[in-house]
Every structure is written in structure tokens, then in C-alpha cells.
Amino acid sequence: MADRKIVHVLISGSVQGVWFRAWTVQEAKVRGLDGWVRNRRDGRVEAVFAGPAARVDEMLLVCRSGPPAAEVEDVHTTPHSDDPGAGFRKLATY
């Protein structure tokens, strides 16, 4: 896919214990994205999103708000070279 975009994302703020991971899985699946999401021990949420560039960009935009109980302070994004494979999943805390 020529317009496939893969990004690594670190989301900070009040993002753990507010259903952020489950919400991310739901939102990514609605957009047909591949990748994963997990909590980090440092309090951030980490994710990899892969798919059509426009849909990945849309996902990054909604991550800036997150689910209703979240208070997102920052969404740090970097290009990612490893394809996460098909589907979107929640991983264990890292």
C-alpha cells in the first residue's frame, strides 16, 4: 500500500485507569488500523498505528482528546519502521 503510514506514539497526562487502551482499540478498529496499545510503567500510554496515512492522522487527532475521563497533555509521535502485522490489539503493561 503506497500511502501506508506507521507511527509510534507516546501519550501523556491522566491516561491510565480511564479506559484509554480499550477506547484506543475501539477507535483504531473503526478506522481499520493495524497495531497495538499498552500502558507503560511511567504512566504514559504507548501505541503503534499503521494504515492509510489519512486514517492514521485521524487517529492521532482523536488521541489528543482520548476517552471522556482522560486528560491528555501530550501526544508525541515518531515514524516507525516495523510493521505491526494485521489487526489491532491491547498488550500487557511494559
Q: Which residues are catalytic?
A: 21, 39
Residues 6 or more apart from 27 whose CB is under 8 A from it? 59, 62
Residues 6 or more apart from 61 whose CB is under 8 A from it? none
DSSP-based three-state secondary structure for 65 = coil
Residues 6 or more apart from 39 whose CB is under 8 A from it? 16, 21, 45, 46, 93, 94
